[in-house]
Amino acid sequence: MSDAPARVVVLGGGPAGDVAALRAAQLGADSYLVERAELGGTCLNWGCIPTKSLLATADLLRKIQRADEFGLVVGEAGFDFHKMMQRKDDIVLKLRQSVEGAVKRGGVTMLRGQGTVDGDAVAVDGERYPFDVLVVCVGTEPSGLPGIDMDHPAVLTSNDVLVLTKVPKSMLVVGGGVIGCEFASLFAPLGTEITVVEILPRLLVGIDERTAKQFQRLLEKDGVTVHLGRQVEEVEKYLKSGVVARLDDGTTVRAEKLLVSVGRAPQTSDIGLEEAGVAITERGHMVVDDHLRSANPKIYGAGDCIGGLQLAHLASAEAARAVENALGHDVRPIDRTVVPSTIYTHPEIATVGLNADDAKEAGHPVKLGQARFGVSGKALGEGEPEGYAQLVSDADTGLLLGATIMGAHAVEMIHEIGVAISEGLTIAELGDIIHAHPTVSEMVMDAAQQAVGVAPYLS
């Protein structure tokens, strides 16, 4: 039997692929990473990082526009969109170089080019690289919409938004999910007239109905027009100055730009996966088992291309687990019980575990604990009184089932609840943990104490 190290080839260099290749090298494998574009994938180059860089500017502008509330005297707030985009690009470049450095230091062989599966090898620019294990992390790309001319300059995907040279005066956002709502939160304070059209009866379907409704109210307070249960029936006119679209209820919307944000499609076609025995769903996702192995025992999958929640941190966790399973190190199924989900709108929204609606649907007797940001001294001091923390527990056992937080710093606060769920804490035990005052994070303690009737200021 050969003592040579396993050869692991990773297809795709995003947050799943980078981690897979580095973890394989850590475990002693000969590790090869294939990427046709830039390391970091969608998250670093076209998603998480650039959008959050721009959203940080938009949030700062919001604060400056309210400077008089804080006792500050400033002139009329303005912005330089070119500098905003340049700052975004600089941050992306810095982080991309960091990933490139990590790959080099980790002993991973970097292969630049389009990779396709060819038997027990991956072909890159005509050269074959045999593998003992292949980890497919090819990610997704923005989906188009039938009936809309996706090549027209007025029609944008989420990628196109990130290379705009000026702020549109108006934008029609088709799709009220995470991507659409984040871009609405970005451009509204920049003065863009935003209209969001969502075919479903509410925004942000992944969160509970109460939070979705409250977020919609705040979005509309920001000047955004929302049409729920509606779809674009037809783009009646494509003009140099924009588009004229007609909704299915007859409403006409004229906008300088039309952003299609209806989801993302996996990039699994035409790379030899099916020929290698990998099953692909009708929607293009790889079929893998709970150990992340495909029907071909030498091929594993991780990240957005296998479906489920499209989250960079989940993709990284899946990638590490796939490599460990493939190489026989601490073999176990992927556990998605506690995966935080974060939405960078204004205000931020974060969830973990089950929300109130899902817990009831799953048959749990639900006990909620709630605390409003409007009674938080820290939130009031920061001028961010909107939102609340809501904990979900089983009324019979007291065990924490999940949480939803909407408000300032929600995406930072959610993790302690994930840890509490992982450790099997009850909502009362979480409430017993002393939190510093004044902090926004103490809303978690307050919500837990409210659930069991011991919160001194909440009822």
- Whether 339 maps to a domain, the answer reads no
Q: Which of 327, 286, 272 is nearest to 122 (CA)?
A: 272
Average pLDDT of span 183-194: 97
Q: Are residues 314 and 390 in the same domain?
A: no
According to DSSP, residue 80 is labeled: -
Pairwise CA distance, residues 248 & 408, whole Å = 36
Looking up residue 120, the CATH number of its domain turns out to be 3.50.50.60
Distance CA 303, CA 309 (A): 9
Domains held by the chain: number: 3
What digits encode the pLDDT tens for the residues 9-20? Answer: 999 999 999 999
Model pTM score: 0.95
The answer to whether residue 341 sits within a structural domain is no
Could you tell me if 283 and 258 lie in one domain?
A: no
**pLDDT > 90: what percent of the chain?**
97
Going by pLDDT thresholds of 50, 70 and 90, the confidence category of residue 2 is: low
Mean pLDDT of 286-292: 98
Per-residue pLDDT tens over the stretch 125-146: 999 999 999 999 999 999 999 9
Query: Do 180 and 200 meet the contact criterion of CB atoms below 8 Å apart?
Result: no
Mean pLDDT score of the chain, rounded to an integer?
A: 96
Both 52 and 18 in a single domain?
Answer: yes
CA–CA distance, 330 with 34 (Å, rounded to integer)? 26
Please state, in angstroms and rounded to a whole number, the distance separating the CA atoms of residues 71 and 49: 32
Last residue of a domain, one of 262, 277, 294: 262
Q: Do 238 and 292 belong together in one domain?
A: no
Q: Does residue 162 belong to any structural domain of this protein?
A: yes
Of the chain, the percentage scoring pLDDT greater than 70 comes to 99
Main-chain dihedrals φ then ψ at residue 49, nearest 5 degrees: -75, -50
Identify whether residues 270 and 258 lie together within a single domain: no
- Tokens 């002993």 -> residue: 107
Query: DSSP state, 5?
Result: P
Q: Mean pLDDT throughout 21-29?
A: 98
Who has greater pLDDT, 447 or 2?
Answer: 447
Q: What is the arithmetic mean of pLDDT over 287-296? A: 98
Task: Identify the domain containing residue 98 by its residue range.
Answer: 7-142+265-326
Q: For position 289, what pLDDT does the model report?
A: 98
CATH of the domain at 447: 3.30.390.30
pLDDT in tens, 343-376: 999 999 999 999 999 999 999 999 999 999 999 9
- The last residue of one of the domains, among 227, 242, 262, is 262
132 plus 96 within the same structural domain: yes
**309 in the same domain as 428:** no
Which of 152, 227, 364, 437 is catalytic? The answer is 437
Asked whether the predicted pLDDT for residue 3 surpasses 80, the reply is no
Residues 393 and 257 in one domain: no
Residue 337 lies in a domain: no
Distance, CA of 260 to CA of 17 (rounded, Å) = 27
Count Cβ atoms below 10 Å from residue 274 Cβ, excluding itself.
14
Is 228 part of a structural domain of the chain? yes
pLDDT in tens, 227-236: 999 999 999 9
Answer whether residue 148 is part of any domain: no
437 is catalytic: yes
Verify that 354 and 423 share a domain, yes or no: yes
- Given a cut of 80, whether residue 174 has pLDDT beyond it is yes
Q: Are 236 and 210 in contact (CB under 8 A)?
A: no
Distance CA 155, CA 148 (A): 8
Q: Are residues 256 and 270 in the same domain?
A: no
User: What is the reported pLDDT for 332?
Assistant: 97
CA atoms within 13 A on the CB side of 440: 23
Q: In which region does residue 51 sit, left (phi positive, over 0), alpha (psi from -120 to 50) or beta (all else)?
A: alpha
Rounded to whole angstroms, the Cα distance separating 54 from 196 reads 20
Cβ-contact 89, 219 below 8 angstroms: no
Count Cβ atoms within 10 A of the Cβ of residue 347 and give its class: 0-12 exposed, 13-18 middle, 19 or more buried: buried
Q: Is residue 414 part of a domain?
A: yes
Predicted pLDDT at 375: 95
User: What is the arithmetic mean of pLDDT over 113-118?
Assistant: 97
Whether residue 269 is found in the same domain as residue 138:
yes
Is residue 1 pLDDT above 50, yes or no? no
338 domain-assigned: no
- pLDDT value at residue 370: 97
Residues 132 and 276 in one domain: yes
